[in-house]
Amino acid sequence: MSDTKTQLAVALHYDRTGAPRVVAKGKGTIGAKIIEIAKANDIPIEENEVLAGALSNVEIGDEIPEELYKAVAEVLIFVLRLSGRVR
């Protein structure tokens, strides 16, 4: 587990139109707060340092870039399976 000082978190929102969008991102205490809010609201969390690093370059409100579609799709499928929405 990484320490809180370097904790990076990126939150995505996908409403099934267009590509997923970055809705929050932050490092350190802000990253930890994003994770805390996600946990408090039963929002699934996927730990993927490389993907989070790539997504951290996307501006808040922007759709993810095409080169990250496959990686994000794999995370979405994983999350949907965990929540029981997809087999």
How many other β-carbons are positioned within 10 Å of the β-carbon of residue 70? Answer: 8
pLDDT at 31: 95
For residues 74 and 72, what is the distance between their CA atoms, to the nearest angstrom? 5
Give me the domains of the chain, ranges plus CATH numbers: 4-82 (3.40.1690.10)
**pLDDT per position as a tens digit, 16-68:** 889 999 999 999 999 999 999 999 998 888 899 999 999 999 999 999 999 99
Q: Say if residues 79 and 46 touch (Cβ distance below 8 Å).
A: yes
pLDDT at 86: 67
For residues 17 and 39, what is the distance between their CA atoms, to the nearest angstrom? 25
Residue type, 77: I
pLDDT at 41: 94
pLDDT at 2: 47
